[in-house]
Amino acid sequence: MSALHSLQTAAVSIRSVRKVYGDPQTGPVALKHVDLDIRDNEFFTLLGPSGCGKTTLLRMIAGFEFPSAGEILLYGENIADRPPYERPVNTVFQHYALFPHMSIAENLAFGLESHPMGKRLGKTAITQRVSEMLALVQMERFADRRPSQLSGGQQQRVALARALAPHPKVLLLDEPLSALDLKLRQAMREELKSIQAKTGITFIFVTHDQEEALTMSDRIAVLAEGQVQQVGRPSDIYEQPNNRFVADFIGETNFLPAQVETLADDHALLRITGGQLMRAAGREGLHQGAQVTLSIRPERLQLVAPDSPETTPCTLVEQIYLGTDLQYQVSLADGSHLRVRTPNRAGQNQSFVPGQRLGLQFDRESASVLLD
């Protein structure tokens, strides 16, 4: 597929999709109004807290639920009204949903045999595809086992292979790693990413785990309360959050009240409590003198000796040892608390005690202006 083509046609387009359960006027609204374009060959993540509508959206792409309004286009074709078995998309379910009465190989063959194409394919081709898929997830040795004889991680791989076997145009993954333990989860992240690269299939991944989203995705859509809050690359989402929700949900942050001092073409200068000036990317709707909220990440703050130039005086409240990092809580003159985080390096950061007066240094370029 040419680059031009992939620019023109999104793999999946969600157009003005709305989902209301029960009565269209009074029923609970799962999705208010969602517009999204998911590109061809992209690892796209729907990220949000539980109840944000991300799973509903995924289930609508799969065909288990139908939108109350709007269109779902798969490579330009509206599939919103088609049953799941007529959509060339496959799902990796949260709890795997492997068929307990079939062997691993039979599980993998199921989709191929059910597919209209399967009858033309023939037995040998199906067997070959099954071994190909087993090799992809390194489960060749387990072909004749039953799902109940496998560990959670192994079942996960089988579920992935089963969904990939019929060559879906888009693969949907519904929190597939949430049932695994931490180490396995981290290993599977890398593996999922590499399998996506190898197969070239568009992945749509649902998770509530922001770390998972940041490490794996090409792009992320952050959802809350049935609406898309922000769409962007992981670094956009983390460093330029649109609003308070996104800033707070992705990683840790500090909220600082500030006043717009000067507006330039591409940036704004803002004065925060304590008199320091911060520089942030401009936004529509800003005007001189406006009161706004800034988000600034804890790792972009530094604790230095008090009365250093260009610092804000603060008092250390608490110090928390996190292993990889040290986290401090400091209070400013106006009583607000901020979090500061520094990497845990030998011989540093050890000398502070709670109650100590310190200087807080801001990384000037690292604040972002929130819309609300």
The footprint of another protein (CB under 8 A) covers 62-64, 83-86, 89-91, 93, 95, 97-101, 103, 110-111, 114-116, 118, 146, 149, 162-163, 166
Q: Which is nearer to another protein, 109 or 272 (CB)?
A: 109
- Residue 143 has phi, psi (to 5 degrees) of -50, -35
- CA angle 185/189/191 to nearest 5° reads 115
Q: How far is the CB of 209 from another protein (least distance, A)?
A: 21
State in angstroms the smallest separation of the CB of 90 from another protein. 6
- Tokens representing 147? 């799902």
Minimum Å gap between C-beta 228 and another protein is 25
| Smallest separation (angstroms) from another protein to the CB of 30 | 17
Q: 20 vs 164, which CB is nearer to another protein?
A: 164
Nearest approach, Cβ of 96 to another protein (angstroms)?
Answer: 9
8 Å CB contact between 358 and 315: yes
Per-residue tokens: 227: 């609406």
Residue 297: Cβ-neighbour burial (10 angstroms; 0-12, 13-18, 19+): buried
Q: How far is the CB of 123 from another protein (least distance, A)?
A: 16
Which residue's CB is nearer to another protein, number 62 or number 338? 62
Nearer to another protein, 66 or 197 (CB): 66
Shorter beta-carbon distance to another protein: residue 105 or 247? 105
CB of 64 to another protein, least distance (A): 6
Smallest separation, CB 268 to another protein (Å): 48
CB nearer to another protein: give 165 or 278.
165
Nearer to another protein, 86 or 318 (CB): 86
Q: Given the complex with another protein, which of 60 and 340 has the nearer CB atom?
A: 60
Closest distance of CB 89 from another protein, Å: 8
Closer residue to another protein (CB): 159 or 220:
159
| C-alpha to C-alpha distance for 325 and 339, rounded to whole angstroms | 12
Six-digit token string for 301: 């703050």
3-state secondary structure the chain: CCHHHHHHCCCEEEEEEEEECCCCCCCCEEEEEEEEEECCCCEEEEECCCCCCHHHHHHHHHCCCCCCEEEEEECCEECCCCCHHHCCEEEECCCCCCCCCCCHHHHHHHHHHHCHHHHHHCHHHHHHHHHHHHHHCCCHHHCCCCHHHCCHHHHHHHHHHHHHCCCCCEEEEECCCCCCCHHHHHHHHHHHHHHHHHHCCEEEEEECCHHHHHHHCCEEEEEECCEEEEEECHHHHHHCCCCHHHHHHCCCCEEEEEEEEEECCCEEEEEECCCCEEEEECCCCCCCCCEEEEEECHHHEEEECCCCCCCEEEEEEEEEECCCEEEEEEECCCCCEEEEEEECCCCCCCCCCCCCEEEEEECCCCCEEECC
β pairing state of 202-207 and 43-47:
parallel
**CB 88, min distance to another protein, A:** 9
Residue whose CB is less far from another protein, 104 or 250: 104
